[in-house]
Structure 1
């Protein structure tokens, strides 16, 4: 039975993947890296540090340090979130449902803390979360399971009783390695890809979620299930 729910952030709480792609395109192109959308798909779900290292290996630059390039990307994403960030369709309905069921909710993201705070503040959803874990809080980001295990520990729930909402294969791999159940939200171009077959459930959008599909423990009543 599910006793806690943990959300990824980018692509799950907010449609920020286009913002990341645009920021990476602008920053790395300015450094002489040739980037196209197809090549960018190789880095979806990675930490910004790993993405920066990936493009540096493809085409080394000398005009700024890797840390400076990483920070330039992060600042551009934060600016875009503040300007145009909105909750993903179906998110607020789901969060309200989980609150009514009195189920603990966590956030586990490969993004740094300041970007996590920017997103939560922009969407005005921080009160829904009992714990918020960013990549600096663990030794290894996703696909390592560390951040999901930390979120479960903070929520006081065993990993096998946690349900994770993830949009990337990297994130799904991390959650499954942590021993959790996963509801995958693949991008349209990845919908039929076999790599998401390991997910316990697959949705195109949170608004498609039928609450009767979830076996959630409600703190309100031992006889009540999520509906």
Structure 2
């Protein structure tokens, strides 16, 4: 088997947590007497992008920069409190990660989340050992849908983009993976299948995929 790499988004991809982010943002907006946040606005403007950047755009200059940063930290604390009792990996994830590791597939996490939120997730799940690299939003110049984060992850794995497959749940993440020239497996935790395109494979959870289905995505590249 040729050398491959699998790059995983985190929120909505390793864990099904976007509903809890949404609840935390709703609480934030209520506390600060902002207009009610709709599910559509959350999905389109906050899901899959760096949270602080998304919040800045959504608030559109109504608060000073330091106020927005403080509000974002408040939102993160809300999120951790509501999600901590329920955090678990998406069905089939641990089995799939172990299978990839046994097959020699390099793996990375590439997430728009903060370093603190990454530590929160990996502090509750026993899966950190599967990943050769973890890239969060620290030091990123451009967030998704720009491909920067996935190209950075591929570089840390010492892999060519064409030999990488990205696992994503968000529209912006799918766009970023395509722009990076990588294969894309989309998981339907956050969006309906028809909203996630173009992709190479759609899954409901990791029970829908194994190493054979993964390597089949690269058959047209075999030498």
Normalised by the length of structure 1, the TM-score is 0.86
- Tell me which residue corresponds to 1:23: 24
CA deviations 1:166-194 (Å, max 9, x no partner) are 0001011111111111001134752223x
State the distance in 1 between where 2:146 and 2:32 align.
30
CA distance in 2 between counterparts of 1:197 and 1:66 reads 32
**Contact 1:31/1:61, CA 8 A, preserved across alignment:** no
Confirm or deny: 8 A CA contact 1:87 1:123 kept in the other structure: yes
1:161 is the counterpart of 2:166? no
User: Which residue is 1:56 aligned to?
Assistant: 59
Kept after mapping to 2: 8 A contact 1:11/1:167: yes
Measure, in 1, the Cα distance between the counterparts of 2:158 and 2:191. 36
CA 1:141–1:197 in structure 2 vs 1: closer, same or farther (change >3 Å)?
closer
SS of 1:214's equivalent in the other structure is helix
How far off is 1:60 after superposition? 2.8
In the alignment, structure 1 residue 200 sits paired with structure 2 residue 203 = no
1:166–1:172: 8 Å Cα contact kept in structure 2? yes
Q: Which residue of 2 aligns with 1:125?
A: 127
Residue 4 (str. 1) matches residue 5 (str. 2)? yes
CA contact (8 A) 1:2 1:215 kept: no
Give the 3 Å change call, closer, same or farther, for CA 192–77 of structure 1 in structure 2: same
| Residues 1-227 of structure 1 aligned to structure 2 (within 5 Å) | 3-34=4-35, 35-43=37-45, 44-57=47-60, 60=62, 65-187=67-189, 190-193=192-195, 196-215=196-215
CA contact (8 A) 1:2 1:162 kept: no
Counterparts of 1:189 and 1:154, CA distance in 2: 29
Matched residue of 2:167: which SS? strand
Secondary structure in 2 matching 1:164: strand
> Residue 76 of structure 2: SS of its match in structure 1?
helix
Shift of 1:113: 0.7
| Conserved? CA contact 2:15–2:90, under 8 Å | yes
TM-score (norm 2): 0.88
- Contact 1:81/1:122 (8 A) holds in 2: no
Superposition RMSD in Å = 1.9
User: Structure 1 residues 33, 2: closer, same or farther in 2, change over 3 A?
Assistant: farther
Distance 2:162 2:211 in 1: 19
* 1:62-89 residue CA offsets vs partner (Å, 9 max, x unmatched): 7x80110111112222333433210011
Q: Does structure 2 conserve the Cα–Cα contact (< 8 Å) formed by 1:175 and 1:181?
A: yes
CA distance in 2, matches of 1:166, 1:30: 31
Structure 2 CA distance for partners of 1:29 and 1:60, relative to 1, 3 Å: farther
